[in-house]
Structure 1
Amino acid sequence: MITRFFVYGLAGWCMEIFWTGLGSLVRGEAELRGWTYLWMFPIYGLAILMEPIHNQIRDWPFYLRGIVYVFFIFMIEYTTGWILRNTISLCPWDYSHSAYSINGLIRLDYAPAWFAAGLIFEKIHDLLLRINI
């Protein structure tokens, strides 16, 4: 279980660095700088909590599974952001500039990205089961 937590944390870091690097490409920044925060490692590691959900819904159509993952990821993102903001007075992300933000903690327009991330999570989860981790 600990190993899977670390795998999900690392996978999340890698996906975030890739995502932010794509953002720099869109902004025309040739260095394609991507980044993340140390705080994000345990937050991405919480994907381990989606394993039982995946096991329950794995036979559903992909679009319904994706919607479930978006909802779950929004809950985790909002909750962890709220906890960080209220305990250490900062949150690594601040979406308050977006018209689609809820309290600056989640962005509804990121739903397609979280949809895709949820389906990628399934592949990682299945791989970890296959190699017995």
Structure 2
Amino acid sequence: MSAALVQRDSHGTAKTYLWMHPIYGATALGLEFLHDRLRFLPRPVRALAYTAVIFGAEYATGWLLRRALGRCPWDYEDKGWSVKGLIRLDYAPFWYVAGLLFEPVREAFLRVTSEALRQTPEYRHAVENGTVAEPQHFAPVSTEQEAGEAADTFLLAEESELHPSP
């Protein structure tokens, strides 16, 4: 996409490698794993840890692809502060900002997903019929807890739709 912007391509065409999808997905899972373990730290410190995970994933997957395919799809050998052509240390500020944005974006996705589940016919029908109860909160809950409760309620609602009680 950035190449499209530089070349003033209004269609936003870009090219990527199929390898990037599992790499990005696995890195996101790594960030999720780390998030749960570092909650007690201040957000800027967690963002540093996320930056390290991103660099580690980029280096490790680049090294593995180079070993398996004979080359890495990205090659930083002649650019920036490169480490063996696999990562660029001058990208650290950008990855740090990505780390800072990870949690707010994650929470927004959780809220949107929870609300989407609540709007499904199965969920609404089950709550209206009293088959499942809408979670009641008497104290503030985390976005994760709310998303988990919405998912659990949806699964109960879906189950009650598939197997109604006599």
The TM-score, its normalising length taken from structure 2, stands at: 0.58
Aligned to 1:91: 72
The one-letter amino acid of 2:43's match is F
Match of 1:103 among 81, 84, 100: 84
Aligned to 1:131: 147
> Do residues 41 (structure 1) and 21 (structure 2) align?
yes
Residues 25-64 of structure 1 deviation map (CA, whole Å, 9 limit, x = unaligned): 3x4x211543322110000001112212112223422221
* Aligned residue runs from structure 1 range 1-133, under 5 A: 21-25=1-5, 27=6, 29-31=7-9, 32-46=12-26, 47-126=28-107, 127-128=109-110, 129=144, 130-132=146-148
The one-letter amino acid of 1:125's match is R
Residues 114-133 of structure 1 deviation map (CA, whole Å, 9 limit, x = unaligned): 11222333234333345346
For the structure 1 residues 121 and 35, does the alpha-carbon distance in structure 2 shift closer, same or farther, using more than 3 Å as the test? farther
In structure 1, list runs of 5 or more residues that go unmatched: 1-20
The one-letter amino acid of 1:57's match is L
Q: Figure out how many residues of one structure are paired with residues of the other and give that number.
A: 111
Greater Cα shift, 83-92 or 116-125: 116-125
| The structure with more radius of gyration | 2
Whole-angstrom distance in 1 between the partners of 2:29 and 2:2:
26
What SS does the aligned partner of 2:8 have?
coil
Whole-angstrom distance in 2 between the partners of 1:52 and 1:70:
14
Whole-angstrom distance in 2 between the partners of 1:34 and 1:131:
34
- Identity, % of aligned pairs? 43
Residues 69-128 of structure 1 deviation map (CA, whole Å, 9 limit, x = unaligned): 111111111000000000111211111111400000000011111112223332343333
Whole-angstrom distance in 1 between the partners of 2:50 and 2:31:
8
Which has the higher relative contact order, 1 or 2, with Cα contacts under 8 A spaced 6 or more apart? 1
The one-letter amino acid of 1:131's match is A
Tell me how large the CA RMSD over aligned residues is. 2.1
The TM-score, its normalising length taken from structure 1, stands at: 0.71
